[in-house]
Structure 1
Amino acid sequence: MLLCRFGSNQLGVVRDNNVYEVTEVLSDLPQYSYPFPTHDVLIANLDSLRPRIQQLASQSKPIPLSQIKLLAPVANPGKIIAAPVNYLKHLEEARTDSEIHHSNQVGEIQRVGLFLKATSSLIGVSEPVQIAHPNRRNDHEAEVVVVIGKAGRNISAKNAMEHVAGFCAGLDMTTRGPEERSMRKSIDTYSVLGPWLATADEVPDSSILNFRLTVNGEERQKANTKDLVIDIPHLIEFASSFYTLHPGDLIYTGTPEGVGTVNPGDTIVMELDNVGNITVKVQALGAA
């Protein structure tokens, strides 16, 4: 199932370049009083809601994808976890390009660990990336994103995929500089997610996913998840040894070599097997 958020917080199922609205299913979600949960309620209840979603989609009139504004498919992630230098060739690239490492130490992921991005940086693919610091280098980083579906702590790699709700394409946008990663990567609009949530059954084997990224039609990045230093099950194991993972938490799994600069006016396209393609515009901050 391909599940999207669109318009004014509407919910839809994507089929054959059309969207079938199923927003009515949200009325079936549990009602919470304060303090509200720190996880995504829809993702937490997705398995039980699935039959109702499919029923509503079969009764809904199709809306062409071209006519809707796609929002981030996960509305309320409690955490955005990201994996740095999780492809060997990107590690080599980061160590040799002084504009990438900016005199920061670039270490192996097993040693430097993961980092967190602000949830306020999250956008869907219909919104533009807005360059907040045009006097500095701003780079694209294409990533496969895992959406956690079931809570857990100290999850074993063997059982990790049982905790996955699905997958999205993602851009981990980055401003280069001396500050910590989490600061430079948490700028508003610097976590792109979409085009929709492909539920886990849509991705038979996440260990062999092809993806590529172009800027203005020029190929910049091309990779396969088989080349991850720490694969997806072991990333979940690693992350959950430090944090309890909750439904809706996002794990950006790392970017391959080929990261490069983007500027206002550019168009970024990312293609991800079994999930979908995203097209994102780049604008100056405050541009109409």
Structure 2
Amino acid sequence: MRLTLFDQGRLGLVDGNDIVDVTEQLAGTGPYGPEGPLHRHIERLADGRTGPLDLTGAPHTPLAEATLEAPLPRPGKIIGAPVNYLDHKAEMEYTTSVADLGVFLKANSSVIGPGQDILLPYTDKRTDQEGELGVIIGRTASHVSRDDALDHVFGYTCVLDITVRSGEDRSTRKSFDTFTPIGPWIVTADEIPDPDTLDLRCDVAGTTRQRTNTADLIFGVRELIAYTSSVMTLHPGDVIATGTPAGVGPLSHGDRVVLEIERVGRLEVGVDGSGATAYAQRPGYHSR
């Protein structure tokens, strides 16, 4: 299944060229809170509180007429995997990789959905795109083994991990509002038996910058879940961004960023630099 939010927080199942409203069937009655009804469905599914899905009589909307939103507008945690492709390690001239660095956290307030804009914060600091496979946790995971890791996955999505190239900690440079586009939907795990075999491509302003296959990950999805769950308990609805390949580069006002992942989907967002300011004008700069 492909599940997402659309038209002001409704939960939809993408069925061909239509999107079917399954909000109450899958998420129960509202209100659903800022996490949204898909997050509620993932929690209910983990608790065994969902039944068979019946689309008879469910409202249909043409997909082309629906306004898609971030499927998980406020995940519990967004976990990133730094330097998880060898070619990215080489292009950035890093001496370490995910095996040395571990993982980092991004603010959940950084999430946006399809068709929205990444807001560039600075006029004089480079802000890069990083296209990544996103893993959505479906069951609580603590110290799970590599062999059992995929049993804890609800599904997969496209994630852009936007990054300012400045001197702050990773979690700061990657947590600006709008710096985690997610979508356009979540594809449930049963449709992707092996997430470590997917082609990924990211275009900026009509030019392909990144092209890889998730087979080239240093920590594959199984290893990444096993490692992360040894550090922190993963809960239903948490998002893991699995890392980016070579080809990161600066974004400019007016760019369109398109991330496509085989069997997962196509996420497109814009770039807006109209509100950017000089790095030296940021709060606290003169207190150093």
What TM-score results when the alignment is normalised by the length of structure 1? 0.88
User: Are the structure 2 counterparts of residues 58 and 217 from structure 1 closer, same or farther at C-alpha, using a change threshold of 3 Å?
Assistant: farther
Distance 1:225 1:128 in 2: 26
Q: How does 1:100-179 map to 2 (within 5 A)?
A: 106-179=95-168
SS for the counterpart of 1:20 is strand
User: Are the structure 2 counterparts of residues 25 and 49 from structure 1 closer, same or farther at C-alpha, using a change threshold of 3 Å?
Assistant: farther
- The number of equivalent residue pairs is 272
Verify the 8 A CA contact 2:74 2:111 in the aligned structure 1. no
Distance 2:230 2:59 in 1: 45
Structure 1 residue 275: deviation in Å?
Answer: 1.0
Which residue does the alignment assign to 2:10?
10
CA distances 1:227-263 after superposition (whole Å, capped 9, x unpaired) = 0001101100110111000000000000000111111
Distance 1:222 1:66 in 2: 27
Which residue does the alignment assign to 2:171?
182
Q: How does 1:21-170 map to 2 (within 5 A)?
A: 21-25=21-25, 28=28, 40-46=39-45, 48=48, 51-52=51-52, 54-55=53-54, 57-95=55-93, 106-170=95-159
Structure 1 residue 176: deviation in Å?
Answer: 0.6
Distance 2:137 2:178 in 1: 21
Identity score, percent = 41
Q: How does 1:254-269 map to 2 (within 5 A)?
A: 254-269=243-258
Indicate yes or no: 2:268 matched with 1:279. yes
Look up the equivalent residue of 1:74 and give its one-letter code.
L
Structure 1 residue 49: deviation in Å?
Answer: 6.2
Structure 1 residue 45: deviation in Å?
Answer: 1.6
Distance 1:30 1:60 in 2: 17
SS for the counterpart of 1:197 is strand
Structure 1 residue 126: deviation in Å?
Answer: 2.5
CA RMSD of aligned residues (A): 2.3
Distance 1:58 1:255 in 2: 41
Distance 1:106 1:285 in 2: 36
Structure 1 residue 30: deviation in Å?
Answer: 9.6
Verify the 8 A CA contact 2:27 2:44 in the aligned structure 1. no
Structure 1 residue 58: deviation in Å?
Answer: 3.9
**Greater shift after overlay, 277-286 or 159-168?**
277-286
Verify the 8 A CA contact 1:29 1:45 in the aligned structure 2. no
Distance 1:234 1:58 in 2: 41
Look up the equivalent residue of 2:266 and give its one-letter code.
N
Distance 1:61 1:84 in 2: 42
Distance 1:193 1:223 in 2: 19
Verify the 8 A CA contact 2:17 2:63 in the aligned structure 1. yes
SS for the counterpart of 1:237 is helix
Distance 1:235 1:188 in 2: 26
CA distances 1:20-71 after superposition (whole Å, capped 9, x unpaired) = 1112225626999xxx9xx94321123646645x31x342243122222221
Look up the equivalent residue of 1:80 and give its one-letter code.
I
Indicate yes or no: 2:245 matched with 1:247. no
Distance 1:216 1:127 in 2: 15
Structure 2: where are the runs of 5+ without partners? 277-288
SS for the counterpart of 1:76 is coil
Distance 1:197 1:15 in 2: 13
User: Are the structure 2 counterparts of residues 286 and 26 from structure 1 closer, same or farther at C-alpha, using a change threshold of 3 Å?
Assistant: farther
SS for the counterpart of 2:92 is helix
Structure 1: where are the runs of 5+ without partners? 96-104
Which residue does the alignment assign to 1:209?
198
User: Are the structure 2 counterparts of residues 267 and 50 from structure 1 closer, same or farther at C-alpha, using a change threshold of 3 Å?
Assistant: farther
